Amino acid sequence: MKIAMVSTWRIPCGVAKYTEELCNDLSNFCELKVFAEYTQAELEPINSDINISYERCYVRGEPFDNLGQKILEYKPDVVHVQFESSMFAESYNSSSLLLKSLKTLQAKGIKTVLTFHTVIPFQNWNTEEVQQLKYWYNNLNSNVIVGNEMVRNEFLKWNNDAKISVIPLGSTIFKPVERSEAAAKLNMDANKIYIVQPGFYGPDKGMIQLVKLLPIIIQKYPNLQLVFAGGLHPLAPEAWKSRTRACIGEIIKLNLTKNVILLGKFVSENELNLWLGLANIVMQNYHWVSGLYSASANAHRLLCANRPIIMNSKDVRLFEFADGVQCCKADESTMLEAVDKCLSNIEYANKISAGAVKYAYETSFKSAAEKHFEVYKK
């Protein structure tokens, strides 16, 4: 079976990283080639073992004629599109360039599959915009893959006849780094307590909210440091930049410059593993501000760290993770309690750390690839 995968590829992007790891395992089941957008910012592979054939052949927001031609020359059995609206500058209406491309491929007898990394919340209004959205969701004529049940349910509100499969986003399997080793390699003090939140900076990451809670936390744990292990996305909009500046301003205002570390850069896979190894607690204080339903690839990336993870209980992207099983769920009102529980209750911390690792293996990219192949065969 030949699969044509359409996605971002080897750029600072969660979907690109997800696609690379998924394709690495999928290549054990089928012949596969990635058809990627043009970029001048190509990164090295996630790991040196990944050797996937790819071709850059489309520009977001422009007609996909060249993409379609390249795919037809490849003669795949299935075209799989990793879909997120900004990746295609998509217009959700009857004149959609993506819909046109899908129909062209389907007319040639090629099956199409779309992974939805985001779904627009259903709107039960009889307006022209909503009718266009309904038309778009109902005319994909493709098998659909989503990351969790909440996203599935929202998609089905648009199209209750959709052929839809829930396949959790793949988890990276890696060997946790010992704290002493991580501290030595990062030149950090192993005697301090570290809360580490990885990921791109943005208003949806709850950074400023976490900083505002920090004075309460360090009253009890004065040797604690908060590390934001990431930086701004290269394509970050002004709203993300201004929110990051506001966060820095809050750190200065609260006199927390010695308690907060902002790496301010794209963190490599190996360095991320070191920061996760250093962490006493891994944080996911996400705040759902985009209004889109989605799952969190970043959360799956952290599961294997064998560290207690605190996740915001109100963020829909973290819906699939069970409180007290794979993580500790909290919000602003219970954050100090959650931190205290993870630091002082060793039995609880070990329980949720082990639960996260267990879920990582259950949702590994190998497992995700097997489930994708079953969808392709339908």
CA atoms within 13 A on the CB side of 68: 17
Question: φ, ψ for residue 210 (rounded to 5)?
Answer: -70, -40
- Condensed to tens digits (0 to 9), the pLDDT of residues 214-236 reads 999 999 999 999 999 999 887 78
pTM for the whole thing?
A: 0.91
CA distance from start to end of the chain: 12
Number of other CB atoms surrounding residue 127 within 10 Å: 9
What mean pLDDT value characterizes the chain?
93
3-state SS assignment for residue 11: coil
What pLDDT is recorded for position 78?
97
Reported as a pLDDT band with limits 50, 70 and 90, residue 150 is: very high
Distance between CA atoms of residues 269 and 255, nearest Å = 31
The residue extents of the domains of the chain are: 2-170+364-377, 179-362
Q: Stretch 98-119: mean pLDDT, rounded?
A: 95
**73: enclosing H helix or E strand:** helix 65-74
Diameter of the chain measured on Cα atoms: 66
Q: Stretch 152-176: mean pLDDT, rounded?
A: 96
Q: What are the C-alpha distances in Å from 370 to residues 78, 127, 163?
A: 15, 41, 18
> What's the token pair of residue 25?
């395992």
In single-letter form, the type of residue at position 138 comes to N
Between residues 48 and 374, the one the model is more confident about: 374
Which architecture, in CATH terms, is 2-170+364-377? 3-Layer(aba) Sandwich (3.40)
Question: φ, ψ for residue 159 (rounded to 5)?
Answer: -145, 95
What pLDDT is recorded for position 204?
86
3-state SS assignment for residue 367: helix
What pLDDT is recorded for position 261?
96
Between residues 90 and 96, the one the model is more confident about: 96
> Quick check: 288 and 317 in contact, CB under 8 A?
yes
Which residues lie across from 164 on neighbouring strands?
A: 144
Distance between CA atoms of residues 131 and 125, nearest Å = 8
Domains 2-170+364-377 and 179-362 share a fold: yes
What pLDDT is recorded for position 61?
83
Contacts of 130 (CB under 8 A, 6+ apart): 123, 124
Reported as a pLDDT band with limits 50, 70 and 90, residue 43 is: confident
Q: CA Rg, the chain, in Å?
A: 21
- Condensed to tens digits (0 to 9), the pLDDT of residues 268-310 reads 889 999 999 999 999 999 988 778 899 999 999 999 999 999 9
- Condensed to tens digits (0 to 9), the pLDDT of residues 167-178 reads 999 999 999 999
Between residues 373 and 266, the one the model is more confident about: 373
Which residues lie across from 80 on neighbouring strands?
A: 5, 113
Contacts of 244 (CB under 8 A, 6+ apart): 201, 202, 207, 232
> Quick check: 35 and 76 in contact, CB under 8 A?
no
**What CATH number does the domain located at 179-362 have?**
3.40.50.2000
Number of other CB atoms surrounding residue 354 within 10 Å: 14
- Condensed to tens digits (0 to 9), the pLDDT of residues 177-205 reads 999 999 999 999 999 999 999 999 988 89
Distance between CA atoms of residues 171 and 187, nearest Å = 28
On the question of pLDDT at 47 being above 90, the answer is no
Distance between CA atoms of residues 30 and 180, nearest Å = 42
On the question of pLDDT at 13 being above 90, the answer is no
- Condensed to tens digits (0 to 9), the pLDDT of residues 321-370 reads 999 999 999 999 999 999 999 999 999 999 999 999 999 999 999 999 99
- The beta strands (E) that lie in 8-92 are given as 31-37, 54-58, 78-83
Q: What percent of the chain has pLDDT over 90?
A: 81
The 3 state secondary structure assigned to 113-168 is EEEECCECCCCCCCCHHHHHHHHHHHCCCCEEEECCHHHHHHHHHHCCCCCEEECC
What pLDDT is recorded for position 251?
96
Reported as a pLDDT band with limits 50, 70 and 90, residue 148 is: very high
